[in-house]
């Protein structure tokens, strides 16, 4: 994930600072660790935020608007200068450790429900006892709950839908993360945020957040409430966004954008080889 960026001494130095903030050797984790190691929520979250911020630094462009999905919202806060990069990665590390601990307390998980009638999908989730954790697009909702609840959802999947178990440690963005939320609340309380210097869209409702403290408070509340990426996409469309760059590690949000924001160029920035295309998309010169 990180190896392609580290030929740049400035990015290598930045990664050293982020590693110190996270209390983890992010260089080793992002270059030589195996998949099982980095799949650990406590490792994955700071690593994802660090990768996003390295790629953003390499891109070297100021966006017209920024947003992030789940833990990616911490990277978006750093891009908008609400948080320093080191604070964003440190908070991601706290968040990851706390969520991993809550996930280990009881067997829970998440499942994507793809396709089907939206009302029927929501009804099926409710009847299973699970709850909605993410609304990613018009055709994709993520449910979370106990493994028993997710099994009931799979058995009662609505017509023309598929229920796909996700490889995650627990039921994120639900009340199962209540203890983790308190740990993050304490850590966030030690940070003095700045106000966004570019429009920052919130996972809560897709609206632009104007105050730094509000943005940080939403990071805390996000842990037990649904991610409404569908509303973020709708706001991007309403605002007439003409190009989208997904920071490293990219792919999922670019895929959603190509379905939900048809005709808007989108590129996933996963290595320095993608920088030229990403700059062209960002500057509106991509053919």
Positions annotated as catalytic residues are 70, 173
Q: Which residues contact 54 (CB under 8 A, 6 or more apart)?
A: 2, 5, 11, 14, 15, 248
Q: Which residue is listed with tokens 């632009």?
A: 208
Helix ranges (DSSP H) in 60-141: 72-79, 85-105, 118-128
Do residues 275 and 247 make contact, with C-beta atoms less than 8 angstroms apart? Answer: no
C-alpha 87/C-alpha 69 separation (Å) is 18
C-alpha 137/C-alpha 135 separation (Å) is 6
C-alpha 157/C-alpha 155 separation (Å) is 6
Do residues 154 and 88 make contact, with C-beta atoms less than 8 angstroms apart? Answer: no
């Amino acid at each position: 994930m990180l190896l392609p960026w580290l030929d740049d001494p400035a990015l290598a130095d930045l990664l050293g600072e982020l590693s110190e903030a996270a209390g983890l050797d992010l260089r080793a984790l992002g270059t030589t660790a195996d998949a099982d190691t980095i799949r650990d929520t406590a490792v994955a979250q700071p690593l994802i935020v660090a990768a996003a911020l390295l790629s953003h630094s390499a891109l070297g462009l100021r966006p017209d608007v920024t947003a992030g999905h789940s833990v990616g919202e911490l990277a978006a806060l750093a891009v908008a200068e609400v948080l320093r990069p080191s604070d964003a990665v440190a908070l991601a590390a706290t968040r990851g450790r706390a969520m991993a601990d809550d996930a280990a307390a009881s067997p829970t998980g998440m499942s994507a429900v793809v396709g089907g009638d939206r009302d029927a999908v929501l009804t099926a989730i409710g009847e299973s006892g699970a709850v909605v954790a993410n609304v990613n697009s018009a055709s994709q909702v993520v449910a979370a709950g106990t493994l028993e609840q997710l099994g009931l959802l799979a058995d009662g999947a609505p017509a023309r839908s598929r229920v796909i178990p996700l490889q995650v440690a627990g039921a994120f963005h639900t009340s199962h993360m209540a203890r983790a939320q308190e740990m993050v609340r304490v850590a966030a309380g030690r940070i003095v945020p700045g106000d966004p210097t570019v429009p920052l869209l919130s996972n809560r409702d897709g609206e632009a957040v104007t105050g730094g403290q509000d943005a940080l408070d939403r990071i805390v509340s996000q842990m037990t409430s649904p991610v409404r990426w569908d509303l973020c996409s709708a706001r991007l469309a309403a605002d007439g966004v003409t190009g989208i760059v997904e920071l490293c590690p990219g792919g999922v949000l670019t895929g959603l954008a190509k379905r939900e924001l048809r005709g808007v160029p989108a590129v996933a920035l996963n290595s320095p080889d993608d920088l030229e295309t990403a700059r062209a998309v960002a500057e509106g010169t991509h053919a």
